[in-house]
């Protein structure tokens, strides 16, 4: 007997929905009952699973989430925005809000909440799918509740690049130099945070030569730890593997290059979550 699921999109970009569509294995065994991106419907019907993407950014988001959650047996928070507020959280600055409200001619604009909130701030969550977006494989694991599914502890483990005794003295820009396809990116002088970022993505970025920027969120060891502990752990990795000055590393991990995802680490510590529920 097939089961049904719905997809509720709050304040986000629809990237998670595109990844879900790419996870085509559910087509024959799961019935998609609601997903505004591709299925028109007045409201969320009763379903087994509700996948929620996007942050709770407005009072409309809050209403739709609470109403839809009552229709589902379990709720799954999907992606960076649903788990930590996402990119929208970066706009929660006084100057941005002042600009938004400066236009007195705005009409029918949903009331902004004081701060973007994760889904579990409003309704109980059964499972978390981190990532921006989560991979199709993770969607399959969530929809079918496959026994034995276990993502790697960190991106670094999945990457598989060789560690060497090379000790770079300076950081290279993400677009600088010629990347050796076999050697660890840190040993080559690139800012890679895969050692503390949770695996399960199969490390497509680092395998292709692009440093990990933490889009999968913290590994199990950092879910309940503060952002400062995460920063300190990253610096220790570089101190152990390179001769790059500590000040340079500290400045780099707080740079715009990592800004989209670094704030997640602080949010995970602020909102205690069961590690067993995070894929």
Mean confidence (pLDDT) of the chain: 84
- Residues whose CB is less than 8 angstroms from the CB of residue 250 and which lie 6 or more positions away in sequence, other chains included: 231, 235
| Per-residue model confidence (pLDDT) at position 56 | 92
Are 145 and 8 within one domain?
yes
Are 33 and 88 within one domain?
yes
Residues 161-191 have pLDDT tens digits of: 999 999 999 998 766 778 999 999 999 999 9
Are 132 and 23 within one domain?
yes
**What average pLDDT does this structure show over 182-201?**
92
Does 132 reside within a domain?
yes
| Per-residue model confidence (pLDDT) at position 62 | 94
Portion of the chain with pLDDT greater than 90, in percent: 41
Are 62 and 141 within one domain?
yes
Does 275 reside within a domain?
no
Are 233 and 184 within one domain?
yes
Does 199 reside within a domain?
yes
- pLDDT exceeds 70 at position 1: no
| CATH at residue 22 | 3.40.50.700
Are 73 and 162 within one domain?
no
Does 279 reside within a domain?
no
- The last residue of one of the domains, among 100, 134, 149, is 149
Rounded Cα distance between 233 and 120, Å, is 27
Q: For residue 6, what pLDDT band results from cuts at 50, 70 and 90?
A: very high
**What average pLDDT does this structure show over 147-168?**
87
Q: For residue 268, what pLDDT band results from cuts at 50, 70 and 90?
A: low
Does 276 reside within a domain?
no
Are 138 and 216 within one domain?
no
The CA-CA-CA angle for residues 76, 192, 255, to 5°, reads: 85
| Per-residue model confidence (pLDDT) at position 217 | 84
- pLDDT exceeds 70 at position 264: no
Q: For residue 137, what pLDDT band results from cuts at 50, 70 and 90?
A: confident
Number of domains within the chain: 2
Q: Is 138 helix (H, G, I), strand (E, B) or coil?
A: helix
Range of the domain at 214: 155-270
Cβ pair 199, 216 in contact under 8 A:
yes
Are 34 and 103 within one domain?
yes
Are 13 and 124 within one domain?
yes
- The last residue of one of the domains, among 128, 149, 170, is 149
Comparing 67-76, 185-194, 225-234, the range with the smallest average pLDDT is 225-234
- The last residue of one of the domains, among 149, 177, 198, is 149
Q: For residue 116, what pLDDT band results from cuts at 50, 70 and 90?
A: confident
Are 145 and 7 within one domain?
yes
- Measured CA to CA in angstroms, residue 38 lies from 33, 35, 274 at distances of 10, 6, 33
| Per-residue model confidence (pLDDT) at position 164 | 94
Our CA dihedral for 259, 262, 266, 271, rounded to 10 degrees, sits at 100
| Per-residue model confidence (pLDDT) at position 231 | 79
Q: What are phi and psi of 254, to 5 degrees?
A: -105, 10
Are 11 and 140 within one domain?
yes
Are 121 and 231 within one domain?
no
């Amino acid at each position: 007997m097939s089961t049904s699921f719905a997809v509720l999109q709050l304040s986000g970009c629809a990237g998670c929905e595109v990844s879900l569509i790419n996870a085509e294995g559910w087509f024959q065994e799961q019935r998609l009952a609601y997903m505004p991106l591709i299925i028109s419907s007045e409201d969320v019907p009763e379903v087994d699973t509700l996948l929620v993407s996007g942050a709770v950014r407005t009072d409309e988001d809050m209403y739709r989430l609470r109403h839809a959650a009552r229709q589902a047996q379990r709720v799954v928070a999907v992606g960076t925005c649903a788990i930590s507020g996402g990119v929208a959280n970066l706009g929660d600055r006084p100057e941005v809000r002042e600009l938004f409200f400066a236009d007195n001619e705005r009409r029918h604009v949903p009331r902004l909440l004081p701060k973007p909130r994760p889904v579990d701030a409003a309704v109980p969550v059964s499972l978390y799918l981190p990532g921006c977006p989560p991979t199709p494989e993770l969607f399959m694991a969530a929809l079918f509740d496959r026994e034995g599914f276990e993502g790697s502890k960190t991106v670094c483990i999945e990457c598989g690049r060789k560690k060497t005794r090379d000790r770079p003295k300076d950081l290279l820009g993400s677009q600088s130099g010629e990347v050796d396809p076999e050697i660890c990116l840190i040993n080559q002088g690139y800012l890679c945070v895969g050692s503390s970022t949770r695996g399960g993505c199969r490390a497509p970025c680092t395998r292709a030569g692009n440093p990990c920027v933490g889009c999968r969120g913290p590994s199990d060891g950092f879910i309940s730890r503060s952002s400062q502990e995460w920063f300190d752990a990253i610096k220790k990795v570089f101190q152990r593997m390179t001769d790059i000055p500590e000040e340079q590393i500290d400045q780099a991990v707080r740079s715009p290059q990592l800004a989209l995802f670094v704030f997640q680490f602080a949010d995970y510590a602020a909102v205690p979550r069961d590690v067993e529920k995070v894929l």
